[in-house]
Chain A
């Protein structure tokens, strides 16, 4: 199993497309940070101009935590695409390139191979988010220094620096879980496809499609919205409420876990029986 995982990781990290994800995260985070570095004060003045009549703001408001929160908000739209780009290719890419004919004619268990592929894909997902953390918190600390976290989230939430850090840790941890759902969905679609375009576009189409339908709020769909995984993609924001709502957080975590199990079960069941015709 270790051998298979090492091989799959090697294949992922020697593929040029893998670095599109890391490159995109790097560019977006650095662009946002540079924007705030040079024009942060004007942007913040604009955002809080109405609040200035009621509140007195003191201290360093443009700091690592405030910028990291903004990075998180904007990046969470892009990360699913970057995840699907690699995980959607894990199985379909082999079918498309004809290499299943090479590896599945060797004494390799299909189940173990799929586990190895998913684990390698998950490692990539994890590393993309780690890069986000390193860049937004690490580079952000150098550029902006520490300070209190200021969030406009329906209400004005202000957290002390020491209070912000663990919230970010939990938000990123939840982010890894919700992105694993996206990776599992792309992986499942990949098991059915013969080329990687379908699963990559399919994953994003499903996420956008369900999100749009949920947002429109059709009354007949309202009962199922709490059971859709897309409902919980932005649930990392729950960790930036003053009082953590453990009920909502648990529901998000369990729904994500249920979808991961569902998507992977379908992928494994299908692939174990699949005729390799490519």
Chain B
């Protein structure tokens, strides 16, 4: 069965003077995706996100949300979208709860008080709900930003740099929250981030853009692992391990690295079999580290530009 397309951009372009901020960009986000939106600074990510949210009008091209043209059906499509664009700015002179009340009313949220309690609890801000936002740290504002994005039970949430201002613990909590909302509530996410590890751990599909143009789009696993993933295996007997790996059918480019670890390319699903072969030949395996990360892939793509 064909997956439902929640967001589609068809040849969308935006120029500022002579600069092409976004140049004929096309992409598709399917229902239940966690979609990574990657690109270096100035690649056009924020402009694209603002166009998707109707903050900026495209010069040309079409944006469809839930199969409907955004320019024709802005009201109903946006009511199903939650967003946190760049930094989380609120009315600083109002409390966290009052900010959510205003935003909830704008989104026609039913049972607003109960819903506010729920989202404040979700982002662990219940104890500070009556504090003015001007007293909040960047991390707390970021969490409040997430709270307002889920307040109206959207089907699609667009997060622009959600990990900004969060400490490592906060970033981890954010990832867990996104995964939870994706799995438990079936919310589709579009996540723009420069923290590649964050996207790598979360996204099932992604696009990399540069200079306003799409460089590559697809399944994260396929893009990163086409022809197998590159792994470094820390073992007890390097020479013997190299011999075993050379004979193993699916392993390619096996070689010993300077610190006597074994490096090779292998399809992810064949790794357990290779480890079983090592065990048979009394080669102890201490660790298996995937060397081919999103960071390498990203740099290789951007570097080619």
Q: Which residues of A contact B (CB under 8 A)?
A: 3-4, 7, 10-11, 14-16, 97-109, 273, 275-277
Q: What's the Cα separation between A107 and B104 when bound, in Å?
A: 11
Residue among A15, A99, A106, A275 with max Cβ neighbours from chain B (10 Å): A106
A104 neighbours in B (Cβ, 8 Å): 53-55
Q: Are B57's CB and A273's CB within 8 A? A: yes
Q: Sorted from nearest, which 6 A-B pairs have the closest CB atoms?
A: A98-B89, A276-B55, A107-B79, A106-B106, A275-B56, A105-B53
B57 neighbours in A (Cβ, 8 Å): 273, 275
Which residue from chain B places its CB closest to the CB of A107 in the assembled complex?
B79
Q: Are B92's CB and A97's CB within 8 A? A: yes
Q: What's the Cα separation between A69 and B76 when bound, in Å?
A: 54
CB < 8 Å: which of A14, A102, A277 contacts B90? Answer: A102
Interface size of B by CB at 8 A reads 30
A-B pairs with beta carbons under 8 Å apart, 11 shown: A4-B106, A97-B91, A101-B83, A102-B103, A103-B102, A104-B53, A104-B55, A105-B78, A107-B78, A109-B75, A277-B56
Tell me the smallest distance from the CB of A1 to a CB of chain B, in Å: 12
Write out, one digit per residue, whether chain B residues 53-74 have a CB within 8 A of any chain A CB (1) or not (0). 1111100000000000000001
Q: Are A108's CB and B94's CB within 8 A? A: no
B85 within 8 Å of A (CB atoms) = yes
A11 neighbours in B (Cβ, 8 Å): 91, 94, 102
A108 neighbours in B (Cβ, 8 Å): 106
Q: Are A103's CB and B103's CB within 8 A? A: yes
Tell me the smallest distance from the CB of A13 to a CB of chain B, in Å: 11
Q: A101-B55, A273-B57 are in contact. Are A106 and B103 (CB under 8 A)?
A: yes
B81 within 8 Å of A (CB atoms) = yes
Give the interface SS of chain B, mostly helix, strand, loop or mixed: loop
Q: Are A105's CB and B81's CB within 8 A? A: yes
Q: Are B78's CB and A106's CB within 8 A? A: yes
B87 within 8 Å of A (CB atoms) = yes
B74 neighbours in A (Cβ, 8 Å): 107
Which residue from chain A places its CB closest to the CB of B78 in the assembled complex?
A107
B75 neighbours in A (Cβ, 8 Å): 107, 109
B261 within 8 Å of A (CB atoms) = no
B20 within 8 Å of A (CB atoms) = no
B115 within 8 Å of A (CB atoms) = no
Q: A101-B89, A276-B50 are in contact. Are A7 and B105 (CB under 8 A)?
A: yes
Q: Are B91's CB and A101's CB within 8 A? A: no
Residue among A15, A16, A105, A107 with max Cβ neighbours from chain B (10 Å): A105
Q: What's the Cα separation between A15 and B98 when bound, in Å?
A: 13
Q: What's the Cα separation between A20 and B90 when bound, in Å?
A: 22
Q: A107-B75, A109-B75, A275-B57 are in contact. Are A3 and B103 (CB under 8 A)?
A: no
CB < 8 Å: which of A7, A105, A107 contacts B55? Answer: A105
Tell me the smallest distance from the CB of B270 to a CB of chain A, in Å: 45
Q: Are A100's CB and B55's CB within 8 A? A: yes
Q: Are A101's CB and B86's CB within 8 A? A: yes
Residue among B79, B102, B107 with max Cβ neighbours from chain A (10 Å): B102
B56 neighbours in A (Cβ, 8 Å): 275-277
Q: A103-B106, A106-B106, A107-B108 are in contact. Are A14 and B93 (CB under 8 A)?
A: yes
Q: A107-B78, A107-B107, A108-B106 are in contact. Are A99 and B93 (CB under 8 A)?
A: no
B54 neighbours in A (Cβ, 8 Å): 104-105
CB < 8 Å: which of A7, A97, A102, A277 contacts B148? Answer: A102
Q: What's the Cα separation between A14 and B103 when bound, in Å?
A: 16
Which residue from chain A places its CB closest to the CB of B108 in the assembled complex?
A107
A97 neighbours in B (Cβ, 8 Å): 89, 91-92
B55 neighbours in A (Cβ, 8 Å): 100-101, 104-105, 275-276
A3 neighbours in B (Cβ, 8 Å): 105-106
Which residue from chain A places its CB closest to the CB of B86 in the assembled complex?
A101
CB < 8 Å: which of A16, A99, A106, A109 contacts B107? Answer: A106
Known pairs A107-B76, A275-B57 / 4 extra A-B pairs, C-beta < 8 Å: A3-B105, A15-B93, A104-B54, A109-B75
